[in-house]
Structures are given as structure tokens and as C-alpha cells.
Amino acid sequence: MAAKLDFLSLLTGCFATPVAENPTVVMVEAAYRAMGLDARYINCDVAPADLGDAVRGARAMGWRGFNCSLPHKVAVIDFIDELAPSAEIIGAVNCVINDDGRLIGENTDGKGFLASLREVVDPKGKHVVVLGAGGASRAVAVETALAGAASITIVNRDAARGKAVVQLVAANTAADTLFVPWTGDYAIPPDTDVLINATSIGLFPGVDDRPAVDFASIRPGMVVADVIPNPPHTAFLKAAEARGARTLDGLGMLVNQGVVGIRLWTGREPDAKVMRGALEAVFAG
């Protein structure tokens, strides 16, 4: 007897502009292949004025979900049905799940970071310092505070942006909060357990740049993390390692947010090692 034919792939992808250089497709499709899934991930260059049509199109075509990257992470909220709790607090969505026609917005940036952090330390009761106050900082600060961090200190040049992240964390979590204006080399407070670079400093091609901190104030054993995925081994992490810190790279965060997305879309567990290997090959090339 002939086998039942099924040529309908599970469809996922990314809506952003520009999107051509976004490598998430490489790691997600590597994961799908390793899982033996007939699933695709397609980068779509979507202009801001077309975002509503793109989301309606994805719904009409039965897409299982999609990532949203810049500039759509906030605007997409107008076109979906529901927000998951941390996406609601962060006020941004980078992953949409189509649950039987109902589009649910998640934020997997912070969750990806948290999964990486938990491989090294449980943030519960820890004192956390976050450099920067943009989208990555909001996601990382909110998710780490929801995981039970004792305190979150935001260090940023622009005081209004820094205070906005502090207010967000204070209003929605039990963590103590503090804003510190970033002037000169920031000395890390001695009771800091986890220090995170959530600025864009160090991203390719600015690979020799590193955040202005007093590296002598980094204690041995402190956990120091970077959100920068490319290059994975940033000048910031190298300097922290030289002080005896335990470090976490931004590639791990990127892989883990992909793991969370695939889990939400397929209900299955992808192989993080396959995904990291695929991305490392891209960045090495």
C-alpha cells in the first residue's frame, strides 16, 4: 500500500528590516533537520508599513509562528491577540506563536539569557548589575528579576532610559532596584554576583571596544556575561576572564532564545549543540 503523502511543511520565520544578515535561520533550520522535522524558517524583509499585512498573511497561511526583530518588536503587539506575562512587562515581542489561530506574543531574549545564566548560577537572591538600558537590557533585567534576583542595578549614560528600566523592574518584580548614571570607568560594587554587558559595545566590527568599567573591581569568581553574539569572545569577556571571572557569551543567549522559540512552535526539544555549531560556522566564515 502506498504511504500517505504529506508535502505541507511547518512554516516559521523572521519579520524584520533589514533581515538579510540575520543568521537565526541557519541555526533554526539546522535544528529542524537534526530533529527530522519537515519545517522551514524563512527570513522576510518586512517594511514597517507592511507589518500588519505580513502578520495577517502568516495567519492566513497557517504559519506556526515567527520571530520579530528590529524595528517590529513593539509594533507587532497591535496585530496579535495576546501577550505572555514577561512580554507584557517588557513591552516587546520577539517571538509569536500561532495557537490554533490565536497569535500569542512572547519575549524569548530574556528567557534565552536566563537559560544561559542558569547553566552557571541560579540568579535567586543574587545582586545583578546591568550595563545599558535598551531592549536587551529590559529583557535581561526583567527576566532575571522575575527569577528572584535580590537586586538589579542599571548603569546607563542616558538617565531617562536607565530610570525607565529601573521603574519597569521595580513596578513588576520584588527585586530592589538602583539607577547609576554612567560617567567614566564604572567601579563594580563589591557585593555584585552577576555583571552583564547589555549595551551594543563590542559588536562586530567594533571588536576591540569594551564598556567603560574599572576592570580591577571585577572579583575572581564573579559571573560576567555579554549579550554580544558576534564575536562570541568579546574584549569585555577577555578582560573579565583575566580578572578570574566566570564568563557567559552572547552566542549562548542567542542559541537559548532559539531553543525556547522552537520548543514553543513544535512542542519538541531541539539540540542546542547543533544550533550553536551552525552559528559558530557562520561567524567563523
| Binding region for ligand NDP (CB under 6 A) | 109, 112, 132-137, 156-158, 161, 182, 199-201, 203, 227-229, 250, 253-254, 257
Whether omega before 85 lies within 30 degrees of 0, making that bond cis, reads no
Nearer to ligand NDP, 53 or 185 (CB): 185
Residue of this chain nearest to ligand NDP (CB atom): 134
Q: Where are the strands (E) in the chain, listed by range?
A: 10-16, 39-45, 65-68, 82-83, 95-99, 102-106, 127-131, 151-156, 176-181, 194-197, 223-226, 246-248
Q: How far is the CB of 193 from ligand NDP (least distance, A)?
A: 21
Q: Judge whether 273 counts as a catalytic residue.
A: no
- Give dist(CA 145, CA 152) in Å, integer: 7
Q: How far is the CB of 2 from ligand NDP (least distance, A)?
A: 45
Q: How far is the CB of 176 from ligand NDP (least distance, A)?
A: 21
Q: Which of 73, 126, 238, 273 is catalytic?
A: 73
Nearer to ligand NDP, 3 or 159 (CB): 159
List Cβ neighbours of 129 (8 Å cut-off, separation of 6 or more).
Answer: 153, 155, 188, 189, 192, 194, 195, 196
Compute the chain's Rg from CA coordinates: 19
Nearer to ligand NDP, 58 or 254 (CB): 254
Nearer to ligand NDP, 196 or 222 (CB): 196
Q: How far is the CB of 94 from ligand NDP (least distance, A)?
A: 8
Give me the active site residues, please: 73
